Amino acid sequence: MTSRVGPKGQVVIPKELRDRLGIRPGDEVTFRLANGGVVVEPVPSPREPRGAFRGAGLLRTVEAEHAEEVRRDR
């Protein structure tokens, strides 16, 4: 696979490689030199925290602590 360097130094990563690496528009990639060439690698995105602690009872704990703080401040 080849790609041309544009006037601004930009290169398009071929779709097949983007698909295989899971690179989507807006994703970050890193660049490094290796063996006389450039290696482009996706930056792992942080795991979505939403729902990660479901069922742990943390909400009830935080609510109880908050209620206690409110009572103390009165």
| pLDDT tens, position by position, 43-63 | 987 766 667 777 778 888 888
Quote the pTM value. 0.55
CATH architecture for segment(s) 9-45: Ribbon (2.10)
Domain ranges of the chain: 9-45
Asked whether the beta carbons of 18 and 24 are under 8 A apart, the reply is yes
| pLDDT tens, position by position, 10-32 | 999 999 999 999 999 999 999 99
pLDDT at 45: 76
* Residues ≥6 apart with Cβ < 8 Å to 23: 13, 17, 29, 42
Cα separation of 23 and 17, whole Å?
A: 8
CB atoms closer than 10 angstroms to residue 26: 6
